[in-house]
Amino acid sequence: MNRKLITAAIAAISTAQISVDLHAAVELEEVVVTAQRRAESLQDAAIAIDAVTGEGLMKSGVTNAYELSKVVPALQITNGGGGASALYMRGVGNRTSSAYIDPAIAMSYDGVFLGRASGASSSVFYDLERVEVLKGPQGTLYGRNATGGAVNILPAKPVLGEQSGFFNATVGNIDSVQVQGAVNIPIGDNNALRLSANKQKRDGYNDDGTGDTDNYGIRAQFLSQVNDDLTVRIGADYTDVGGVGAGTTYTGVYSKNGLGDYSLVPSGLDIDEGMNTAAGNAYRNTVLGAPGFGFLTDIQDDWYVDNQYKGINAEITYAFKAGDLTIVPAWRKVEQDSKFGVPGFNSGWFQETDEQKSLEIRFAGETEGAFEYIVGAYYIDETIEGDNTFNQEFVLPMQEFKQDSESWATFGQATWHLTENTRLVTGVRYTDDKKTMQGKIDNYITFCGGPGGDLITPPDSFAAGCATPGNLPIYPTLDNVAQADAFLTDNGWAAAFVDVGGGVTVIPLTTGVGTVLHVNNTTDDSYQKSKTTYRVAFEWDLMEDSMVYLSYETGYRSGGFQLAAAPTYDPEYLDAITLGSKNRFLDGALQLNIEAFYWDYKDQQISYFTISDGVLENLTDNVGSATSKGIDIDLKWAAAENTLVTAKAQYLKASYDDLHFQAAPPRDNINCPSTVIGTTADGAPMLDFDCSGNESVFSPELTLILGVTQTIPVSDYNLIIALNSRWVDDQVSGFWNLEHEKIESYTTTDLDITFEPQSGDWFLSAYARNLEDERRISSTQASPIGLAMTQYGAPLTYGLRFGYNF
């Protein structure tokens, strides 16, 4: 079936009798970007950037941030459950279930930096002007937490004196429905209002309902040209994200062969199964959970997502004779309540509120053509409050925390015109970060053994009855100590609680088989560090439509706190050298941009599960350094008046120069050479795993994106056929060299056929995504309870889309 679809698509394009006449070629459309805090052509921006217009995103089938990798080879975004997202750029990023860990890729919406970038991954992705993806550290104009780059999501803005709007409706398989629209309303000669709305719903890709979509959003913007010098734009937005949420499937379980040595035993489940089905739970019941050494039970909870994202922001611009003053005040709030099982938990439970207030002030001008400059100041105040649980049945960590972050910065960048064709760019930013955290993690751990014996896994576990149902407590998904203690006492598991000091309470089980330890870690501390980052670049116009640039820039991600035995971690740093060239040939019909890059990544922050003093921890530590280097090529060719050819390629060599993890059984399923470096408080061997030399995560050596769009005039109408294909090389999705973390190379092909009048008043499209109909691995999880978990992308999706412009 799929081969027939591909053959038909190629035949349709062939029968269009494409005639490539270089002399008839037309000039490509200009894309305007504001990545350098000023409006300029994409071809004039001497930086490593990909920019896609809102119309381009729609035609590429990009409806949320997770799908941006379809058009940006360097970027990958995954969902870790609930509202947690991981953003990676050429191996630089972070994966964590803790909201207080800062992102490594700065994400902003309408010019406002988002402290918790995951919010934009599910929201605000409608009625967009464009999305800009900046590759490499952005330490001057964007500041901290832009180690690997920045993603700017820019909504369409009100237009003065124009009554206009649009309406789009999409229906497709898997009960997919999306409706969105916008209206631009002039109010007198100097004011305009733009209202936008979006509703999107789709059933889950997995049999347990996970992998679904259910959200809606509204946005309002008011623009006022107060006078010739003063412009004010105010915006407000609200998004509600619901549904079941992201899901994974059991790939198998890792069987222990020896110290630090595991092999994968496949589950035999279909990739569509999901976790919370009869078959998924039946498989779960065959898995022994550590450290209780009992069999896991069925998923106990109904998973859901109930998240709200809201914000108010403004952009105030005043034109002085010397330059333009821009003021951007903003307030944003995220409220999350979700239960999920993505990492193999029985259930994770996020109850979080994130609130931020920020202010940016910029002044940009120029002096008689000698140089252009921008100076500014930035301030952000953010509060994160969370009550989170990660139920692993024999391990029940419950977090309660409040983190306050305050950061301010001053920055400046100047472009010096050395000659008519050469420029020197210098920029610097000073940032001061302050954080305070008050929080605790209460960890209830059921061991098969008891005091004086092996608390991890006694050799006679089966004989002792550890695996016999009813002999060991299996925790429900709770969120505080009172509930956990009541569960143990009300159900007759415990009669005594012995406080042995150091935040540890020993709870002997009445069955006589095992022991529960209640371990409490508290954090009440402050953190302050400052950092200066900078950029130096040289630009040279070779000819009217060709230029080269060479830049060196630095960036960093803030350190901070965590609810663990090691309460703090340090900042990470990235230095980047970029040699790029931007060109237009054939009278503007052929665009060729090339970027060669070298990134030096130091003190990398990585979150992973480990054992500290016999207690399971999700630890963030500065464990590695890495090097990323390669070439990025972006080509667009208007081969004829009605023919557009696009091609993108990235060649990437990214690996860890130094990468070490420390863990103890039963959390030692790391497939790297290990050395015993000591013992835990319970006598278990502590291992140091040397993963140096491993390939960086989400760093395929080669990525290719190819597309052709053919427009066929039919009387007063156009038939537009677009075929796009993406090939991605082998890559790894985890740090541990585990078997299931390898993602094999794959190809995904999309087809769009659109019929519209040449006036552009309306359109009718048929689309098919993933013609190969193969669900590819999008990410994996090495579960702390030994399970191998895999997330898969969408199968073949198809449907119809209708749009009307007025």
The mean pLDDT value for 130-136 works out to 94
Q: Determine the Cα–Cα distance for residues 26 and 696; give it in Å rounded to an integer.
A: 41
**255 DSSP β-pair partners:** 263
What is the pLDDT of the chain when averaged over all its residues? 89
64-73, 163-172, 208-217, 248-257, range with the lowest pLDDT: 64-73
Give residue 616's pLDDT band: very low, low, confident or very high (50, 70, 90). Answer: low
The mean pLDDT value for 574-579 works out to 97
Whether the pLDDT of residue 85 is over 80: the answer is no
Helix (H) or strand (E) holding 700, with range, is none
211-225, 509-523, 690-704, range with the lowest pLDDT: 509-523
Whether the pLDDT of residue 53 is over 80: the answer is yes
Residues in Cβ contact with 237 at an 8 Å cutoff, skipping those fewer than 6 apart: 123, 124, 217, 218, 219, 220, 309, 310, 311
Vertex 193, ends 333 and 223: CA angle to 5°?
A: 80
The mean pLDDT value for 62-77 works out to 85
% the chain with pLDDT above 90: 69
Whether the pLDDT of residue 64 is over 60: the answer is yes
Whether the pLDDT of residue 579 is over 50: the answer is yes
514-518, 563-567, 757-761, range with the lowest pLDDT: 563-567
Per-residue pLDDT tens for 410-448? 999 999 999 999 999 999 999 999 999 999 999 998 888
Q: Determine the Cα–Cα distance for residues 289 and 254; give it in Å rounded to an integer.
A: 11
Per-residue pLDDT tens for 638-649? 999 999 999 999
448-457, 578-587, 636-645, range with the lowest pLDDT: 448-457
Give residue 80's pLDDT band: very low, low, confident or very high (50, 70, 90). Answer: low
The mean pLDDT value for 724-740 works out to 94
pTM: 0.91
Which has more pLDDT, 608 or 730?
Answer: 730
Q: Determine the Cα–Cα distance for residues 693 and 696; give it in Å rounded to an integer.
A: 9
Residue indicated by tokens 């809606």:
216
Half-sphere CA count of 491, side-chain side, radius 13 A: 16
The mean pLDDT value for 20-31 works out to 63
Q: Which of 99, 349, 86, 79 is closest to 213 using CA atoms?
A: 79
Q: Count H helices, E strands: the chain?
A: 6, 46
Q: Determine the Cα–Cα distance for residues 804 and 806; give it in Å rounded to an integer.
A: 7
* pLDDT value of position 12: 41
Per-residue pLDDT tens for 220-229? 999 999 999 9
Give residue 143's pLDDT band: very low, low, confident or very high (50, 70, 90). Answer: confident
Q: Determine the Cα–Cα distance for residues 293 and 296; give it in Å rounded to an integer.
A: 9
The domain limits of the chain are 2-442+522-805
CA distances to 110, 153, 609 from 132, rounded to whole Å, are 11, 7, 34
* pLDDT value of position 792: 95
* pLDDT value of position 303: 96
Which has more pLDDT, 282 or 107?
Answer: 282
* pLDDT value of position 614: 56
CB 446 within 8 A of CB 394: yes
Q: Which of 385, 389, 405, 407 is closest to 397 using CA atoms?
A: 389
Vertex 573, ends 567 and 578: CA angle to 5°?
A: 160
Per-residue pLDDT tens for 287-324? 988 788 889 999 999 999 999 999 999 999 999 999 99
* pLDDT value of position 248: 94
Which has more pLDDT, 589 or 97?
Answer: 589
The mean pLDDT value for 780-794 works out to 88
Instruction: Domain 2-442+522-805: state its class.
Output: mainly beta
The mean pLDDT value for 384-409 works out to 94
Give residue 9's pLDDT band: very low, low, confident or very high (50, 70, 90). Answer: very low
CA distances to 54, 337, 356, 564, 765 from 353, rounded to whole Å, are 30, 9, 10, 21, 40
Which has more pLDDT, 663 or 219?
Answer: 219
Q: Buried b vs exposed e over 657-669: b needs ≥16 C-beta within 10 Å?
A: eebebbbbbbbbb
Which has more pLDDT, 739 or 369?
Answer: 739
Q: Determine the Cα–Cα distance for residues 708 and 356; give it in Å rounded to an integer.
A: 43
* pLDDT value of position 696: 95
Residues in Cβ contact with 282 at an 8 Å cutoff, skipping those fewer than 6 apart: none
Per-residue pLDDT tens for 241-279? 999 999 999 999 988 888 778 889 999 999 999 999 999
163-177, 299-313, 341-355, 444-458, range with the lowest pLDDT: 444-458
* pLDDT value of position 83: 62
Residues in Cβ contact with 595 at an 8 Å cutoff, skipping those fewer than 6 apart: 48, 135, 578, 579, 580, 581, 631, 632, 633
CB 445 within 8 A of CB 528: no
* pLDDT value of position 117: 62
Give residue 794's pLDDT band: very low, low, confident or very high (50, 70, 90). Answer: very high
CB 762 within 8 A of CB 756: yes
* pLDDT value of position 461: 67
Per-residue pLDDT tens for 554-569? 999 988 888 776 778 8
